[in-house]
Structure 1
Amino acid sequence: MSRMPVLFVGHGSPMLALDDGPAHRFLTGLAGHLPRPKAILVVSAHWEAATPRVSSVEKPRTIHDFGGFPRALYEMQYPAPGAPDLAARVAELVPGATIDPARGLDHGAWVPLKLAYPAADVPVTQLSVQTPDGPKGALALGQALRPLRDEGVLIIGSGSLTHNLYEFRSPVQEQPVKPWVKAFADWVHEKIAAGDIESLLDYRAKAPYGPQNHPTEEHFLPLFTVLGAAEPGEAVLLQHQSYTYGILAMDAYGTALAA
C-alpha cells in the first residue's frame, strides 16, 4: 500500500458547504487527486480538549455547531460511517489519548468532507486539538500519527491559515484581502517552503501580525499537526490559495498529491 498524503485545509465559514468559490471548488475536486483512503482522521479546530480525545462512534452524528445561518445548512447531514478501529489505533499511537464514545462530526470535519467525499462512504473519525499545548504539542501530535499514513489513513488537519473573526465586517465573500492577512499568509508560505519549522513554531513573535491573525490558536494548530505528520525531508506544498471575506486565508497545504 502506498503512503497516503497528509493535508491541511481551511474550512472557513460553514457557508463553504453551500456557496461556490475557489475554496469550495478546490475541495469539490480534491478526492480526484488522492488515493482512495481506508479511513479518514480529521483533526478539527472545533474540538478542543485538555488531552487528546478520539471518537469511536460507529455512526457519528452531524453536529451543526454554529448559529444564524440559512435553514439549508442545518438540514445538511453527513452520514459517513465511523471508524472505531482507527480510533483504537490512534489511542495506541498518541501518548495520553483517550476514547470518546459519543463525539460526532463538527463542521470543521463534515463541511470539507461533504465537498470532497459527497457519497459519505469513507469511514471517518475525529481527533481533538489541545490548544494549551500550542504549536509544539500539535507538531508532536502529528509525529505520533505518522504510521497511519502507511496504513491507508488520510490525515486532514482542518482549521484556518488566518482566523480573526473580530475583524468580520460583511457576509460578502469577495472582498479585498486585508494587508495584514496577506502579509501573514505570505510569511507562512515562505517558511513552509523553506522547511523552517522553528520560525513557524515561534510565529506569534516572528510572523508579521501573528497574534492579530490568530487571537486564539486553535484554528492554526492543525497545520502543525500536518507538518508533524510529514516525514523528515518530505515537502509540504501549497495546494490551494484564496481568501474569503477579506480576512480568512483559505490556503491548503499538503504532501504531494496526484496531478
Structure 2
Amino acid sequence: MKKPMPAVFVGHGNPMNALLDNTYTGGWAAIGKDVPLPQAVLSISAHWYIPGTSVTAMHAPRTIHDFGGFPPELYRIQYPAPGDPALADRVRGLLAPMTVHPDEEWGLDHGTWTVLRHMFPGAGIPVVQLSIDERQPAEFHYDVGKRLAPLRDEGVLIVGSGNLVHNLHAYAWGRRAMEPFEWAVRFEDKARELLLAGNDGPLISYETLGQPAALSIPTPDHYLPLLYVIALRRKGEPTCFPVEGVDGGSVSMLAVRIG
C-alpha cells in the first residue's frame, strides 16, 4: 500500500520571505524536494479567516497581494498555479453536511503563495484554499482536519500556513535582529513537547496553557492552521520540525511535518 502524503504546517512570517533566500525559505524549498510530488495542494491559510467555510473552486486562482507598505517588487510577484475544481468538490463532499461555499473570487493569499513559491517554484501543481471559519472554536477546526484525512491517500499535500507564535505588537519591525522573547520560547518548547508526544488535547485547548500561550496567540488566526495539520496524523507516524527559528523576537517560523 502506498504511503500517505505527508502534511505540513509552515510558519510563513513576513511577506518579504517571498523574495528572500534565507534559512526559512531554504527549508521550504527542501520540503518541496523531499515530499512525493503532489497531485494537488490544499492550503489552509491564516489570511483567509472569514465568517464561514469556503473553498476556492476556480480554474485559475489569482495571486492576492494582501499586505501594505512593502517594496514594489513584492507586488509584482505572480504565482500562476492552476486551481482544481474537482478537488474543491471533493473537499465539499468530505465535509458534508457542513455548508462549504464554492468560491470563485478569493484566490491564493500570501500565506499560501509566499511559501509555495519556494516549495514548488514552477507553479505547476494545482492549488486550492480552504477558509478558516472565524466563528468556530478550536475543536471545530481540529475536527475539520480529521475529515480531510482521506486526501492524504489521494496524493494531496495539505499545508497549514500560519505561525505557532504570532505577536505583531511585540515584533521588531525594521530593527536589528532580536533574541526571542522568553514567553515565545516557553510556548514553542511546550508545543514541541506536546507535538512529539502526540498529545493534541492541550494544543486544541491552548487557552489553558497559561500566559506564554496568551502572549503567543493574541488572536487565533495564525495558530488554527496547525490544528488542521495535527488532526491528520495517523498512529505511529513521525513528527519533525524541518524549519526552526523565531523572527523579530515574537514570530515563530517553526514548520511541523507529519509523516
**Shorter-normalised TM-score: what interval?**
over 0.9
Letter aligned with residue 32 of structure 2: A
How many residues are aligned here? Answer: 256
Q: Which runs of 5+ in 1 are unaligned?
A: none
Query: Which sits farther off after the overlay, 62-71 or 246-255?
Result: 246-255
Given candidates 209, 218, 221, the residue that maps to 1:206 is 209
Instruction: Name the structure 2 match of 1:73.
Output: 74
Aligned alpha-carbon RMSD (Å): 1.4
Letter aligned with residue 232 of structure 2: A
Query: Which sits farther off after the overlay, 133-142 or 85-94?
Result: 133-142
Structure 1 CA distance for aligned equivalents of residues 197 and 121 of structure 2 = 35
Q: Is the 8 A contact 1:138 1:225 kept in 2?
A: yes
Q: Is the 8 A contact 1:168 1:245 kept in 2?
A: yes
SS at structure 1 position matched to 2:188 = helix
SS at structure 2 position matched to 1:91 = helix
Structure 1 CA distance for aligned equivalents of residues 144 and 174 of structure 2 = 35
Instruction: Name the structure 1 match of 2:241.
Output: 238
Q: Is the 8 A contact 1:7 1:155 kept in 2?
A: yes
Q: Is the 8 A contact 1:55 1:127 kept in 2?
A: yes
Superposed counterparts of 1:105-254, under 5 Å: 105-172=108-175, 174-254=177-257
Instruction: Name the structure 2 match of 1:33.
Output: 34
1:234 Cα deviation from its structure 2 partner: 2.8
SS at structure 2 position matched to 1:80 = coil
1:232 Cα deviation from its structure 2 partner: 3.9
1:62 aligns with 2:63: yes
SS at structure 1 position matched to 2:135 = helix
Hey, which bits of structure 1, 4+ residues long, moved more than 3 A?
none
Q: Is the 8 A contact 1:44 1:128 kept in 2?
A: yes
Instruction: Name the structure 1 match of 2:49.
Output: 48
SS at structure 2 position matched to 1:229 = coil
1:7 aligns with 2:3: no
Q: Which runs of 5+ in 2 are unaligned?
A: none
Instruction: Name the structure 2 match of 1:16.
Output: 17
Structure 2 CA distance for aligned equivalents of residues 173 and 5 of structure 1 = 36
Deviations 1:129-151 (A, max 9, x none): 12332321111011010000111
The TM-score, its normalising length taken from structure 1, stands at 0.95
Structure 1 CA distance for aligned equivalents of residues 46 and 210 of structure 2 = 21
Query: Which sits farther off after the overlay, 180-189 or 161-170?
Result: 161-170
The TM-score, its normalising length taken from structure 2, stands at 0.95
